[in-house]
A = this chain, B = another copy of it.
Amino acid sequence: MDNQIYSKDELYSMEKQRIFPGTASEAAFLLGGIGTGNVSIGARGELRDWEIFNTPGKGVSLHYSFFSLWAKEEGKEPVCKVLESKLHPPFSKSHGFHSGAVSGLPRFETSALRGEYPIAWVDLKDDSMPVEVTLETFTPMIPLNPDDSGIPCAIFNYRVKNKTDRKIDVSIAGSLLNGSGFSGYDQFENLKQESFKGSKNEFRNDDGFSGLYMYSTSLPENDLKSGNMSLVTTSKQVTYKATWNNEGWWDGIHDMWDDFSSDGKFDAQTSTCAIKDAGQKVGSLGVYETLNPGEEKDFQFILTWYFPNRINGWEQTCCSSGCNCDITQNYYANLFMSSWDAAHYILKNYNRLSKDTYKFHHALFDSSLPHYVIDAAASNMDILRSTTCFRLKNGKFFGYEGCFNKAGCCEGNCTHVWNYEQTLAFLYPTLERDMRVTEFNVETEENGKMEFRTKKLFGSSNNYHPAADGQLGCIIRLYRDWKLSGSNEFLSSVWDNAKKALNYAFTYWDSDGDFVLDSQQHNTYDIEFYGPNSLINSMFYGALKAAAEMAEAMHDSESAEKYRNAHSKGSEKMDKMLWNGEYYSQVIDDVNKYKYQYGEGCLSDQLFGQMTSHLAGLGYILPEEHVKKAVHSIFKYNFFTEFSSHINVQRTYILNDEKGLVLCSWPNGGRPKLPFVYSDEVWTGIEYQVAAHLIFEGFIDEGLTVIKAVRDRHDGIKRNPWNEVECGHHYVRAMASWASIIALSGYKCDLVNGIIEFNPAINKENFSCFFSCGEAWGVFKQKLDKDTGKLVYRVDVLYGKLDGIVVKANGENVNM
């Protein structure tokens, strides 16, 4: 193997997931559902990045929103600390840490965060404390069930253990700012107070739970800032201060801390004496217990939010006050009337929601795939539940490419970016199919031109040339989704337009009718390729092969024949034109005639259409021998083991001694004066698609090396393990990471014909892996029976049904 940087042991050993110390200041684990926004838990156990207000909010804090613990060991003075570990440098803010960050309060000595999305654990330790605390936190996530994966909530279970040999009285308090009307901060980092006028906190009792309900009495119902939040518990031993004193300065936190730290209980009286209607409203909810020596008890809090109003479009904030922006609601407003209602739903269904979430977690994390492969696939699932994606009241699902710190970017279910992701397709196929419906039935014009960013749906018009990779990729993805669902009804609902979109390529991108696309080809590098190249053409041949089969299913033999013919002739010709003995290059007379080409370069994406074809179960669309060699050449030439001497004047995603796969290299020279604009960059999404392809072609060490390199770069110090960035946070392309699970398990799904297949590529004698299709998900296992020398198979369906589906493993039928 070239570029060997990891030992076999490092690549294949079955280690546990990484643990991040409190110093891993970049680590931030998202809590929140599909289309609900998020709050994150950091490596110190802190709540950070409040993104519950329908906009991204990296770096947005919610003042005075934190958990704290009071403990009194029998016969000793009480102790009281914030349930976070200490802050780490830098400490250089223009005005110090604001009071709202409560940075000056005592904290636990150390913390350790383990995040196995969708569940995270934070251990808090402190020799001076009589207790140890572990927080377990999650938001329900159940594949195939987008509604129950889309609850605007975060569940916090603090498990407290008495370390001493005496009784300890313990209270945990959650404090929370009423965010209804939240308008950010002024330059002093004080909360802008205006829209808090009329905001109210109240303590409520309900069926089996109680807590704080925080809302506004003054904001119009359709105001974008209107909404409510709840912090509840099922505990019966509750203490609370519904509204802190807010008369002036930092009176509220002074009063709250003095009150709570004295006896672990809140005196409701003190808080009511000086509450200004116009000011911010913070409230605290506490739960108290007595722990015997060595005893452990859970303190559970459920945070829910409800900010239902959202602009009906890609904008996230009104262009101006008093504008006529079309306001719609989040999908979750169909499910719940308020945050309190959401809390009610969660608690009524708690066992099911948590059990199914844990089942999913175990199915994924107990697999026999290398830990970093699971980590790559699982951690990037959070993109679906980040502010990159949203879901409107009409049920439709949308996604930016990624997010700025405070806004989505770029708009439009962008076809050439969403081309790479597999996670939604395999976990929430109904939402994925909705994207096909949008693309084909809304955004595709009569002549077959597809707007590559969803615009018509929101009343805008098509106004840019089409993206060849995105448009053709949609055909392959349609095939994948048809096979995953087995639904001919779905296929026929979009088929006419899909055909138009494919046929458009014959005239628009093929200048000479030779089935090798060659004219101006806009693509995912945000520039135009000219002349034949294998990125666009591999997408074309994958689309043709897929469309031929779909046409047959739609009883359209004429089209099927046309597509088979075009695939056969075109791919043969392309292979001849572009194959240079090691990989496929771009054919163009003068590589500098147009800016931003790659010519003789070795493009990492050169066989992207082949990868997606493998993944969809289409098999080879180009000569296997060349495909194998080309994919290996990509690894050989483009995987760099250090970047200190790499010359890149474009955007920088990798530096110093890091390892990764560049988008393009020129091993034989011929680099254009101005190559395509991202050519020297490193994108995790492309690394993952190449890694999966390497595995599909049998280069397993190489594929795993690429994946491990990506995850090593996301170590919590350099980058957030739960946020792979490209043109934005939580970038959609990174969901190509799911493809490695498919490739390593050799999973094929054809519900149209009622067959699913497994063909594990590693750990064949003791293999276990999560699988999913449109009807069910579960775990596939294969184990060598040492007595018989034969493999024994087992399929555990953990959700849904596989009735009537034939399961095969390594070519054999599996007894269900």
Contacts and interface: CB of A to CB of B under 8 A. Distances in A.
Contact of A103 (B25, B58, B86, B655): B655
Interface string A649-690: 111110110000000000000000110010011000000000
B648 A92 contact: no
A593 interface: no
A26 interface: yes
Interface centre among A93, A96, A261 (most CB of B within 10 A): A96
Given A652-B101, A655-B103, A717-B89, A94 B646 contact: no
Nearest to A89: B718
Interface stretch (A244-252, A511-519, A733-741): A244-252
Contact of A251 (B97, B98, B595): B595
A645 interface: yes
Nearest to A596: B249
Contact of A651 (B99, B527, B655): B99
Given A92-B26, A96-B725, A677-B250, A87 B649 contact: no
B95 A680 contact: no
A380 to B, nearest CB: 15
A105 interface: yes
Nearest to A79: B645
A258 interface: yes
How many copies of this chain are found per oligomer?
2
Contacts of A250: 649-650, 677
B95 A648 contact: no
Given A89-B718, A187-B404, A674-B254, A727 B95 contact: yes
A535 interface: no
Interface in A481-522: none
Contacts of A443: none
Contacts of A99: 649-651
Interface in A571-618: 595-596
Contacts of A255: 673-674
Interface centre among A89, A92, A107, A249 (most CB of B within 10 A): A92
Contacts of A718: 89-92
A387 to B, nearest CB: 12
A356 B5 CA distance: 56
Contacts of A309: none
A388 to B, nearest CB: 11
Interface centre among A91, A258, A404, A647 (most CB of B within 10 A): A91
Interface in A238-274: 248-251, 253-255, 257-258, 261
A116 interface: no
A92 B649 contact: no
A90 B651 contact: no
Interface in A368-402: 402
Given A98-B651, A409-B187, A725 B258 contact: no
B651 A91 contact: no
A242 to B, nearest CB: 19
Interface string A775-799: 0000000000000000000000000
A65 to B, nearest CB: 14
B92 A725 contact: yes
Contacts of A720: 92
Contacts of A251: 595, 674
A102 B649 contact: yes
Contacts of A673: 254-255, 258
Contacts of A125: none
A9 to B, nearest CB: 27
Given A104-B648, A255-B674, 15 more contacts: A58-B94, A86-B655, A87-B655, A89-B717, A92-B720, A95-B727, A96-B651, A97-B651, A97-B652, A106-B644, A187-B409, A249-B527, A249-B677, A251-B595, A261-B647
26 contacts: A26-B89, A26-B90, A86-B655, A91-B655, A92-B725, A94-B402, A94-B728, A95-B404, A95-B651, A95-B727, A96-B652, A96-B726, A97-B651, A98-B651, A99-B651, A103-B652, A104-B650, A104-B652, A105-B647, A106-B646, A187-B407, A188-B727, A249-B527, A250-B650, A253-B649, A254-B649
